[in-house]
Amino acid sequence: MSHMHSGIAAAALTALLALAPPSAAQDAASLKKEMIGQWELATTERSKTCVVTLKGDTTPQGLKLELEPGCAKALPFTKDITAWNIRGLDIVRLQDAAGQPVIDFTEVESGIFEGLRSGEGVYILQNLAAARSLAKSMDQMIGDWSMVRGNGRPVCGLTLTNTEASGDNFQVFLKPKCDPVVAAFAPTEWRLERGQMILMSKSGETWQFEADDNAQWRKVPDTADPLIMLRGQ
């Protein structure tokens, strides 16, 4: 009986292998299509940014692209970039005139690519519209908030700033006279991540809030006596 099974497995494997090359080509082609458009190339904390327009027209070296004028000043390595290409199944390569990679990107989550330049660090390539809307939502978050219980009783006042702390995080300040629960948590940093507002303490503990609407964010997972962040009270 086992012989019979291995025969089926072998046949299945052969069928799979026969399918592999076209689907691989398909991946590269669909990735190419997905990449055509405007992208923001930036340092991880987005302190230096540059807009790259990837085009579908081919050149002898690869595919055409345009870098906005400020790129070379913001990110000096971009002055060597003359074309782009898809390498293998999933590598988006920004290359120089000789066709050599200046930086290779791979997708880390939908629409967000990461690339490493040795000695310099990690750079992010993300869809320009998405990058801009994140920046806009970040700007809308900055300022005074109050944390209240579900019954509306205020427990603490906080100020979210756009002052860089560590990594992708920004500083948050508690106002005096906070509820012991919040005072004990003592958040020092915040960030927006996948639509959640995340508060972090020095010890690395995190509280996550999800938007009920723009002005009101509720701590998740929900509890019987929820904590809610309200805008500028």
Model pLDDT, residue 2: 47
Residues 41-51: tens digit of each pLDDT: 998 877 789 99
Residue whose C-alpha is closest to residue 34's, from 113, 104, 97:
113
Identify the residue with better confidence: 4 or 145.
145
Integer Cα distance of 9 and 3 in angstroms: 10
List domains and CATH numbers for the chain. 29-133 (2.40.128.10), 142-231 (2.40.128.10)
Q: Which residue has the tokens 């560590």?
A: 166
Which tokens belong to 118?
A: 């040795």
Model pLDDT, residue 72: 94
Model pLDDT, residue 139: 82
Residues 64-117: tens digit of each pLDDT: 999 999 999 999 999 999 999 999 888 999 999 999 999 999 998 888 999 999
Helix (H, G, I), strand (E, B) or coil at 106: strand
Cβ partners under 8 Å of residue 183, min gap 6 = 156, 174
Model pLDDT, residue 57: 94
Residues 186-232: tens digit of each pLDDT: 999 999 887 789 999 999 999 999 887 656 899 998 888 889 999 87
β pairing state of 170-174 and 83-87: unpaired
pLDDT of 184 higher than 50: yes
Integer Cα distance of 187 and 153 in angstroms: 20
Integer Cα distance of 162 and 141 in angstroms: 9
pLDDT band at 22 (very low <50, low <70, confident <90, very high): low
Residues 118-172: tens digit of each pLDDT: 999 999 999 988 888 777 788 888 999 999 998 889 999 999 999 988 878 999 9
**pTM as predicted:** 0.58
